[in-house]
Structure formats: structure tokens, C-alpha cells
Amino acid sequence: MPRFNAAYLNLNQNYLFAEIRRRTKVFADAHPDVRLIDLGVGDVTQPLPPAVVRAMHEATDELARRETFKGYGPYVGYEFLRADIATHDFGSRGVQIAVDEVFVSDGGKSDSANLQEIFAPDCVVAVMDPVYPVYADSNVVAGRTGRADAGGRYAGIAYLPCTAENSFQPALPDRHVDLIYLCYPNNPTGAVVTREALARWVAYARAEEAVILYDAAYEAYISDPDVPHSIYEIDGAREVAIECRSFSKNAGFTGMRLAYTVVPKEMRGRAPDGTTMSLNALWARRTAIKSNGLPYVIQRAAAAVYTPEGKKQVQALVDSYMANARIISAGLAAAGFTVYGARNAPYIWVRTPPSVSSWDFFDRVLGTAHVVGAPGGGFGPSGEGYFRLTAFGSRAQTEEAVKRIKTRL
Ligand code: PLP
């Protein structure tokens, strides 16, 4: 029999979203007449922007002609898309990013899970708590954490608690860490970071020779003018920060798949013999080994997001989801719940009633309101006592879900 990689056996229970799907299916199978509303996993529901669809059709036609056919593309993404990303996502905000610092990939999930691979196995990892579970899990399977305790905590992870008591802003680690995962706007709490707080993280990373893995998958949802959109708006970040972004939640690419990671050329790491080398070069090498690049059609579709028409259509999607966020937030507050988020992020972070655990609350909302949410505890130990709803449902579903929670809970 084959022997398993023991690190995989250190994973806590099921992947959160798989467990949500499992419980939902058990309930749906037992209650076939119930119409469930899913505000749990956080998948978008609106169709692709028309500019994106048109670009896909055109790109498909290119592939149909011998003269314009494309085979294998660049591992790191086509230059036309990388240039658009550098210009529109960064240049427009006064941040200089070079085309060869942008690595196009199939997902923010894959990037945030894979980046740890190029760092030493004994690196100490810090994660916001609660947060998107992939950062912790990918380090568990890489063997950095050991087994979790009974409360689900890994001794090898430095948790950075984010709760209402600290306004969901984690303190700097009280010990040395090497890799710091920051997610802003935050999934699941919806919190954003101030420029001053982000500057403190950059200063910490520089002082500790640490790397910040900055996940800005929800950047498009920032509406407060003072909130930084990129970590590179902070002086000194280019030496210490990698930034990941995704087309999933702004342009509706959850089924299309496209994201990117920025690795500035100033970033350097140390080899075991003490010599230093470029992180950008190592990530490029790793990408060449493990990726074939993304389909041409999808990259053309992504580039359409940066056309004037595409920008307007994407903004309309974001606005519409944020209107849902306000409906949920106001509705639940009116029903007496304590609610956070919903301002610069498409997530509503709700306190569960006193002494009701987050999975019990999940089951209660599923069983009585027939609404699927996500239990806070699944995002990390400090998420216990909270519950997440997403703003990605249709308007009708969103309004109905709020009505059901208000009247049935
Ligand atoms: N990062 C965060 C914080 C997320 O919440 C998600 C998806 O929910 C992702 C990354 C994944 O994005 P992608 O669809 O590009 O893999």
C-alpha cells in the first residue's frame, strides 16, 4: 500500500465549504420541498459582463482560424493582459508595477495556497484569525504546523485574532514570524485596513525580514476613499510584499478562472548557504514548471474588464452586490442582530446569539429560515461566535432570505 504524506493527515476535519455543502445536501435530501437560499459559499450569481462575453466570442473565432490560432501560451500569462493589469490596477493609482512582476494564474485560491512552496519548511506562519481557510490549510499540508489541538488550533501557526473587541484589526505578532497572510478587504469579517495600520505591517516585515502575502481578492469592493487598494501604496512594501488579486468576485469569473499575483523584483530571499536571490525569479521558475498558463480565450475575456465598457459593467456588478450587502446588514440589524462588514466588502459578519456556537447557528438558520450561511468558527478559532452571509445572491433571494431570518429566527 502507498504511504501517505503525513502532513495531509494533520488537516482539521473537512474543508469548510465542503462541510457546508455536505450539511446543506443532507438537509435538502431530507426536505425536498423546501426552497433553500444559498448565501453561504460565496459564489457569484450574476452573468458575465457583456464586454467579457464579446471578447470571448472574438477570441474563440481567432482560435478557429489558422492565421490567428494560438497553442501553448506564456506560463505567466499573455503580455497584453499583464500590461493591462499593471496599467489599470496599479498605474492608475500611482503605483508602478512592471509587466514581468505580474503572474497570471487560474485562481487566488491556487496562488495563496501555492506561494508558501518557495519558502523554507521551517518558516513560521502568521494568519489573520478568522480568515479564508486556504492560507492555514496549505501550510498544514506543507508540514509547517503539526497537528491541531482539540480547539482546532495549530501550535505551528501564529494566529492574529480579529474580533469585535479589537475592531477586527489584528495586533502585530508578539514573536518572530516569516510569512504573514493579510487579507483586505477581509473574508469573512469584511474589515478593511487603514494606511497607517498597513504601514505598521510593512515596517514589521522589513524589521523581521518577513514576507507579507497580501490577498486583495475583494479590492473592487473598497468604497471608502482613504482605504488603500494595494499594499504597494505603502512605502517600502515592494521589498517585502506579494499581492494576490482575482477576477472572481468583481467580474464574475468564479467559473471562468483567472487571477494574478504580483512579485516585485526588489524582493529577495536567502538560500541555505546565505546567498540571496530574487523571489520574482524563483516564482517565475516555479510557474514554468507547474503551469501551462491560462486559456487564451479567458485571458482575452479578462482584458475586456479593463475596457471603458468593461469597467462600467464590472462596477455595476459590484454596486449591485453591495446593495445586497446593505439590505442584509440593515435587515439583520433591525432584527436585533449585531452586524459587521457590508461596507467595503460583500460579506456580512453577524454575532451569533449568546452561547450559540457558530455551527449550531448555521444549523438553526438552515433548519428554520432555510438559508445557508457559513459558520464563523470554520474560518479560524476567533470566528467562533460569528456567522457569515454573502451578498452574492440575487436581489430577490437576498430580500427573501432577510425576510425569513427576521420572521423565523
Ligand atoms: N482569496 C480570498 C480571500 C477569497 O475569499 C477567495 C474566494 O472566496 C479567493 C481568494 C479565491 O479566489 P479565486 O476564485 O480566484 O480562486
Tens of pLDDT along 371-403? 999 999 999 999 999 999 999 999 999 999 999
Measured from the CB, is residue 248 less than 6 Å from ligand 1? yes
Q: Is residue 145 part of a domain?
A: yes
Measured from the CB, is residue 129 less than 6 Å from ligand 1? no
CATH number of the CATH domain containing 141:
3.40.640.10
If asked whether residues 302 and 388 sit together in one domain, one would say no
- Whether this model's pTM surpasses 0.85: yes
If asked whether residues 301 and 370 sit together in one domain, one would say no
Contacts of 28 (CB under 8 A, 6+ apart): 34, 36
If asked whether residues 208 and 186 sit together in one domain, one would say yes
φ, ψ for residue 211, nearest 5 deg:
-115, 135
- The last residue of one of the domains, among 290, 307, 324, is 307
If asked whether residues 154 and 18 sit together in one domain, one would say no
Q: What is the atom index within ligand 1 of the atom nearest the CA of 183?
A: 3
Measured from the CB, is residue 388 less than 6 Å from ligand 1? no
- The pLDDT of residue 42 is 86
Q: Which of 16, 109, 214, 347 to mutate to test the pocket of ligand 1 (most atoms within 8 A of CB)?
A: 109
Residue ranges for the chain with pLDDT beneath 50: none
Q: Is residue 144 part of a domain?
A: yes
CATH number of the CATH domain containing 377:
3.90.1150.10
402, three cell numbers: 432577510
Per the structure, the complete domain to which residue 337 belongs is given by 6-47+309-408
If asked whether residues 256 and 282 sit together in one domain, one would say yes
- The Å distance, Cα 67 to ligand 1 centre, comes to 36
Measured from the CB, is residue 52 less than 6 Å from ligand 1? no
Contact 38, 372 (CB under 8 A): yes
Helix count (H) and strand count (E) of the chain?
Answer: 11, 15
φ, ψ for residue 141, nearest 5 deg:
-70, -20
If asked whether residues 301 and 313 sit together in one domain, one would say no
Q: What is the atom index within ligand 1 of the atom nearest the CA of 248?
A: 14
If asked whether residues 334 and 198 sit together in one domain, one would say no
Going from the C-alpha of 134 to that of each of 39, 116, 353, the distances in angstroms are: 20, 11, 27
If asked whether residues 64 and 131 sit together in one domain, one would say yes
Q: What is the atom index within ligand 1 of the atom nearest the CA of 110?
A: 16
Q: Is residue 181 part of a domain?
A: yes
394 vs 240: CA distance, rounded Å: 39
Please count the other Cβ atoms lying within 10 Å of the Cβ belonging to residue 274: 6
Burial class (CB in 10 A: 0-12, 13-18, 19+), 33: exposed
- The pLDDT of residue 90 is 98
- The Å distance, Cα 275 to ligand 1 centre, comes to 34
Number of domains in the chain: 2
Contacts of 366 (CB under 8 A, 6+ apart): 23, 24, 27, 36, 372, 373
Tens of pLDDT along 279-332? 999 999 999 999 999 999 999 999 999 999 999 999 999 999 999 999 999 999
267 vs 395: CA distance, rounded Å: 44
If asked whether residues 303 and 317 sit together in one domain, one would say no
189 vs 342: CA distance, rounded Å: 9
Q: Is residue 167 part of a domain?
A: yes
Q: Is residue 1 part of a domain?
A: no
124 vs 203: CA distance, rounded Å: 18
- The last residue of one of the domains, among 307, 341, 372, is 307
Measured from the CB, is residue 192 less than 6 Å from ligand 1? no
293 vs 81: CA distance, rounded Å: 12
If asked whether residues 300 and 282 sit together in one domain, one would say yes
Q: Is residue 284 part of a domain?
A: yes
If asked whether residues 262 and 360 sit together in one domain, one would say no
Measured from the CB, is residue 256 less than 6 Å from ligand 1? no
Measured from the CB, is residue 86 less than 6 Å from ligand 1? no
If asked whether residues 36 and 178 sit together in one domain, one would say no
- The Å distance, Cα 256 to ligand 1 centre, comes to 13
Q: Is residue 160 part of a domain?
A: yes
- The last residue of one of the domains, among 274, 290, 307, is 307
- The Å distance, Cα 246 to ligand 1 centre, comes to 7
- The pLDDT of residue 2 is 95
Q: Is residue 132 part of a domain?
A: yes
Which protein residue has the closest C-alpha to ligand 1 atom 8? 42
